[in-house]
Structure 1
Amino acid sequence: MSTRYAGIAWTDTGYRVEVLDGAGRRVVEPSDWGAAQVAELIAWLEELGREQPLAAVFESTNGLLDGPMTAAGLEVYRADPWLLPPRPRFGSVPARLLAQTARSSPGELARVTAEGGTLTGRADEYFEGVRRSEPVREALTAAGRCFEHGRRDTPRIALTFDDGPDPVHTRRILEILDRYGVRATFFCVGHHVAALPDEVRRIASAGHELGNHSWSHPFLPDLTPDQLREQIDRTAETVARVTGEAPLWFRPPYGALTPQVLAALDGHPSTLALWDVDSRDWARPGPERIAETVLKAAAPGSVVLMHEGAGDRGQTVRALPSIIEGLLERGLEPVTVGELPGLSTGRD
């Protein structure tokens, strides 16, 4: 039985899906799904996959679907830029083209795994880019335009959550933070901000801080300078429309930086916000392991990376009380990134 190919393109409002069979014939009419309808999209793809083998295909500027899709057991592939024509300034290549590329060149696609995520098969390229960018990063850090952590002489620590907001996990995280009376920073993707503005307002009204995490969670080295700035600026504008204030911090998806990416960001008003403690919750190792990883590495001034969206973050939610209690027992006060000593908010 031949495989069907579901090309999934991202747009400013959600996703466009086209499904072709092995002969290139359309299986169903093209469909559009809002950014808040990922669960429904996955259920629809699962149903199609019961009839006949199905491969879901997206490209490297869509970093929001691999987590929930691989967790659901779907067969997921990435079509890399060298297989595709240039994409538009905002949005991915068309869904039909993604499906056609998968059908005509299935052996050229990267099979995405839960462990490797969107960048499965490109880890060497990622680490090489980070290595080459280190001199520029050091200069930006010295100038106060980039940070991994705050000062080490004050017992404060920043808990940060990426990829939201999420219709389920954001509220659960907010409830836990409120229970302990601590604040955090939420690095949101524009795709989700536009789809779930009430959740963003809920974060802000609870006194937490918002950061910019791009629009579609792309692998930044695959973007042109204009595409990169468009991702950041649209997200900032959307957050500002919802809350009245644009984020100060920009966190690059995956922490993926190259000299070219940093050159494209030169002169941009956002400060690069990285981290020094990776909870590795994205690997879903279990809540106990997540808490252990954070508490073992945390130190005064640390910035802790966790996730609230773009996947099943139930383990993060269950780990959070142990993390907060462990930090408080050690005398480390969880605060927002902007409240870490040594980091200027630019609004003083």
Structure 2
Amino acid sequence: MGRPPHSAAVVSTFGPLRDAVMPRLAGRGRPDHVALTFDDGPDHLSTPRFLDFLDARGLRATFFLLGPMPARSPGPAKETAAAGHEIAVHGWHHRPLLLRGPRAADDDLARARDAVADVTGRPPVLFRPPYGVMSTAAVMSTAAHLVCRRLGLTPVLWTCWGEDWRRRATPQSVEHTLLTDLRGGGTVLLHDSDCTSTTGSWRTTLTALPRILDTCQERGWQVGPLREHGLPGLPRG
């Protein structure tokens, strides 16, 4: 996801307050479950590797797709949906919504939603804003939320990430960073594509995944998509 300084401050400053007063936006679900989510795909080189790994584990996840990716290469998106994973939308342009006007934000989300629906055959219902700029600070300006409501999209962020987009990230650093903040009911943010990250970073993520999932199992947490996470106001899968 690659975090510019201005948006990183928004997320980190308001994260605890967001988790407490807006659990659905934060991705806070039932305490015996962890939601596994991936951003920025699908990519024809990397996403099939994640699908194979998850299939071998008997797990499903939520994939937040960037609109141009399935539009350019629809195969991986179709495979992800056919494998039973939850398909969500990450916008079209990977730019913070707060830096764009209401009309541009509406066009961006509608274009991405329609592209994902055309490829997968089903309109997405969940949305993750690029850089997470839909935290408490963003609520003060409700344009993005109004756009989501009009398009039938529910925004969901995350409670912990592995910072797997960083140039110096290693499987060990991704695992440590993510597990330090992970609690039951949390939503994990990782990336199955390096289109907005350091080249090849998806390999780091894929290498870190087994230990992350093993730790969830050791702690007695089920792992699955957001539709099974028990988010307030959303139907269970």
The verdict on a shared fold, with TM-score over 0.5 as the criterion, is yes
Bigger-Rg structure (1/2): 1
The 1:251–1:128 alpha-carbon spacing in structure 2 relative to 1, beyond 3 Å, is closer
Report Cα offsets for 1:101-159 as digits up to 9, x if no partner: xxxxxxxxxxxxxxxx562xxx2476359868999x689937x5x3332133xx11111
Report Cα offsets for 1:66-103 as digits up to 9, x if no partner: xxxxxxxxxxxxxxxxxxxxxxxxxxxxxxxxxxxxxx
Look up the SS of the partner of 1:127 in the other structure: helix
Alignment: residue pair count: 225
Match of 2:107 in 1: 230
Tell me by how many angstroms 1:300 deviates.
1.3
Would you say the 8 A contact 1:184–1:337 is kept in 2?
A: yes
TM-score normalised over the length of structure 2: 0.84
The 1:256–1:339 alpha-carbon spacing in structure 2 relative to 1, beyond 3 Å, is same
Residues 1:291 and 2:175 aligned together: yes
Match of 1:85 in 2: none
Identity of aligned residues (%): 34
Q: Mark the runs of 5 or more structure 2 residues left unpaired by the alignment.
A: none
Report Cα offsets for 1:254-292 as digits up to 9, x if no partner: 101324653332233211111001111111420112122
Would you say the 8 A contact 1:148–1:276 is kept in 2?
A: yes
The 1:261–1:183 alpha-carbon spacing in structure 2 relative to 1, beyond 3 Å, is farther
Match of 1:273 in 2: 156
Tell me by how many angstroms 1:206 deviates.
0.8
Would you say the 8 A contact 1:291–1:322 is kept in 2?
A: yes
Look up the SS of the partner of 1:163 in the other structure: strand
Match of 1:149 in 2: 28
TM-score normalised over the length of structure 1: 0.58
Cα distance in structure 1, aligned partners of 2:204 and 2:62: 19
Would you say the 8 A contact 1:281–1:316 is kept in 2?
A: yes
Q: Mark the runs of 5 or more structure 1 residues left unpaired by the alignment.
A: 1-62, 64-116
Would you say the 8 A contact 2:44–2:75 is kept in 1?
A: no
Query: Which of the pair has the greater relative contact order for Cα pairs under 8 Å at 6+ separation?
Result: 2
Report Cα offsets for 1:308-344 as digits up to 9, x if no partner: 1114211001111111122112211111011002344
Give the alignment's Cα RMSD to 1 decimal: 2.8
Match of 1:203 in 2: 80
